[in-house]
Structures are given as structure tokens and as C-alpha cells.
Structure 1
Amino acid sequence: MFVGSLELDLLLGDVHSLKQKRSAVRPVVAELRKRFDVAVSEAGHLELHRRALIGVATVAADAAHVRDVLDNCERFMVGRTDMELLSARRRLFGDDD
């Protein structure tokens, strides 16, 4: 069994309040969950209105599938025009960990 995680550090576009941030981040979290069948949550920068840290996790029987899913999630975020992906950090845990 392999578990992969991905931290996406985002700079949001024209957002001036935490309420606007929620309305920008919530659909992204829902779309990642629906499109890639992953566990997703806003996991950091909760007090900042122009930054968001989104955590993504997936589990699969082989490491290649985990990498593919995380690659697709990262590509999806890069393709968004309403926010900028500042960094992506991934981890892969296998039977040895």
C-alpha cells in the first residue's frame, strides 16, 4: 500500500476578505475531490486572505498510480487562472515507512 500527499501553496487573485477567500477555495477543494477521487482540505494559511494551503492525499496499491494522481492534481492547479501555484510539496509513503 502506498500513501501520497501533496501540499499546494496558493496565492489567490482578487481577494480582500476571508469570506471571499472561502468562496474561492471551497470550489477548488470540491473540484479536486470530485475529479481525482482524493481527500482534500484547506490545511494552512487560514488567517491570511490572499494565501491558501491545500492538502491532498491518496492511497493506492502501487506507487506509480499515487504519483499519477498527484501529478494530475498539481497540473489542474497550475492550469487555473484565478490563483497562482507558488509551490507544491509531495510525499510518498510505502511499505518500508
Structure 2
Amino acid sequence: MFCATLTFDLLLGDVHSLKGKRGIVRPVLAELRRHTEVAAAETGSLDLHRRAEIAVACVAPDPARCTDVLDRCERLVAAHPEFQILSVRRQSLSSDD
């Protein structure tokens, strides 16, 4: 069994409140959950209205499947013009670790 995570550090565009931030981040999280086999959550920069950290996690029987799913997630997030991706971090574990 393999587990992989992907963490995005995002700079949001024209957002002036935490409510405006929620209006951008929540639909992205819903889209990630709906179109891929991942758990997704906002995990950082919770009290900053122009920054967001989103993390996704995937569990699969082989590392290639994890890579495919995370690649799909990265393309999905990159397709959103309302924010800029500052960094992306990947981490993988196997049940043997």
C-alpha cells in the first residue's frame, strides 16, 4: 500500500476578506474530491485572506497509481486562473516504511 500527499501554496488574486477566500477555496476542494480519488482540505494560512494552503492525500496499491492521481490533481488546480501556485510539494510513503 502506498500513500502520497500533494500540498499547494497559493496566492489568491483580488480577494479582500476571508469570506472571499472561502468563495475561491471551497469550490476547488469540492472539485478535487469530486473528480479524483483523494481527500482534500485547506491546511494552512487559514487566517490570511490572500494566501491558501491546500493538501490532498491519496492511497493506492502501487506508486504509479498515486503519481497518476496527484498529477491529475495538479493539473486541475493549475487550471484555475483566480490564483497563482507559489509552490507544490509531494511526499510519498509505502507500507514498508
TM-score by length of 1: 0.96
Count of residues in correspondence between the two structures: 97
Aligned with 1:6: secondary structure?
A: strand
Q: Name the residue aligned to 1:51.
A: 51
Q: Which residue of 2 aligns with 1:38?
A: 38
- Secondary structure at 1:48's aligned position in 2? coil
- Residue 37 of structure 1: how far off its partner (Å): 2.1
SS class of match (2:11): strand
More deviation, 54-63/76-85 = 76-85
> How far 1:80 sits from its partner (Å)?
1.2
Query: Which amino acid in structure 1 is aligned with residue 62 of structure 2?
Result: D
Report sequence identity in percent.
56
Return the letter of the residue paired with 2:94.
G
SS in 1 for 2:81: coil
Structure 1 residue ranges without an equivalent (≥5)? none
Partner of 1:91: 91
User: What is the rounded CA distance, in whole Å, between the counterparts of 1:8 and 1:53 in structure 2?
Assistant: 5
TM score, norm. by length of structure 2: 0.96
1:8 aligns with 2:8: yes
Residue aligning to 2:20:
20
Give the CA deviation at 1:77.
Answer: 1.3
Shift in Å, 1:45 = 0.3
- The equivalent of 1:74 in structure 2 is 74
1:78 and 1:18 mapped to 2: Cα distance? Answer: 22
**What is the aligned-residue RMSD (CA, Å)?**
0.7
Q: Which runs of 4+ in 1 moved over 2 A?
A: none
Task: Give, in angstroms, the shift of residue 96 of structure 1.
Answer: 2.5
Once residues 36 and 44 of structure 2 are traced to their aligned partners in structure 1, the CA distance between those partners, rounded to angstroms, is 21
CA distance in 2, matches of 1:95, 1:18: 38
Name the SS for the 1:75 alignment partner.
helix
Note the residue ranges of structure 2 that are not aligned, 5 or more in a row: none
